[in-house]
Amino acid sequence: MLSKLEALRPKKRLFLGLLLAAEFFVALTLYAAWRISYLGLEKIFEYLPAIVGAFLIFISTFSFGAVCNMVLAIKGLPTLKLFHRYSFAIIKFLFPVAVRIGKIFGIKRRQIEGSFIAVSNLIFMKSNIKVPAQKLLVLSPHCLQLSTCPHKITRDPNNCKRCGGCNIGDLMKLSEELGFTFFVATGGTLARQVVKKTRPQAVLAIACERDLMSGIQDVYPLPAVGVLNIRPNGPCNNTRVDMEEVRRVLKGIIKDDNK
């Protein structure tokens, strides 16, 4: 029987199922648009309907192939690198449609975003990406810091006094222990600046579902893995992170120099 924790984990098949449904809906919409405009296109040029139809078939087939490529990656089967580069672009296009379809069935946006993160993390781990600790960047949201703390750490986490009131001190200690770069970001813009400045080979980000989803897509093709924060006081206020989960993920990323 599944434990309570396992039962609460985002289901990877949810995101993939909705993405396939969104792909099917978009394909039908494109076909309907093509049928409606057929006569008009034919008046412009005799072969224009065939050209436009072939283009739309190519777009739909390529998009479907990218989604299927994710399924293969999750199953640990060989994938086509051709699709890797465009996967997140296709997700950005189809995701709003997937959210609307999910809403019809009473599925919340946060659940879909959590499912995406689970899919992305699994693909990351199955890719067996290993980087030296000094080439790994760990990003944390500023809401992980205790809201009553007077010490500003968003530009320099070393200002943390490690009082134990939040997980920032734990992450600083772990950074010193393992050797990765740790930074606290106030938002996506600052996070992107840090990535550009530090030029890591991989990123581990701690955030909520929405920020993780956008962040993983923003840094692509840089490999990134996400760890969801814990929100006992609601979003963006005194959040926490499971340090054991962080350690587990780090163990799977950091290259062992002794091997």
What confidence tens digit (pLDDT) does each residue in 152-176 have? 998 789 899 999 999 999 999 999 9
- Asked if residue 259 is part of any domain, the answer here is no
pLDDT of residue 53: 95
Instruction: Answer whether residue 5 shows pLDDT above 50.
Output: no
pLDDT of residue 191: 85
Task: Say how many C-beta atoms besides its own lie within 10 A of residue 116's C-beta.
Answer: 26
| Backbone angle region of 164, left / alpha / beta, with phi > 0 → left and psi within -120 to 50 → alpha | left
Which range (53-57, 65-69, 239-243) has the least confidence? 65-69
Domain boundary among 89, 108, 125: 125
Model pTM?
Answer: 0.80
pLDDT of residue 256: 78
Higher pLDDT, 97 or 5: 97
Instruction: Answer whether residue 248 shows pLDDT above 90.
Output: yes
Same domain, 144 and 31: no
Same domain, 119 and 133: no
| Residue 144 belongs to domain with CATH number | 3.40.50
pLDDT of residue 127: 78
Same domain, 33 and 141: no
H-only helix segments in 187-242: 188-198, 209-219
How do strand 202-207 and strand 224-228 relate by DSSP bridges?
parallel
Domain boundary among 125, 148, 178: 125
Query: Region 187-193: what's the mean pLDDT?
Result: 82
- Asked if residue 258 is part of any domain, the answer here is no
Of the pLDDT bands very low, low, confident and very high (cuts 50, 70, 90), residue 10 is low
Same domain, 177 and 238: yes
- Asked if residue 158 is part of any domain, the answer here is yes
The total number of structural domains that make up the chain: 2
Same domain, 104 and 48: yes
Domain that holds residue 209: 129-253
Of the pLDDT bands very low, low, confident and very high (cuts 50, 70, 90), residue 105 is very high
Of the pLDDT bands very low, low, confident and very high (cuts 50, 70, 90), residue 9 is low
Domain boundary among 125, 148, 168: 125
What is the distance between the alpha carbons of residues 22 and 177, in angstroms, rounded to a whole number? 45
Same domain, 247 and 142: yes
- Asked if residue 38 is part of any domain, the answer here is yes
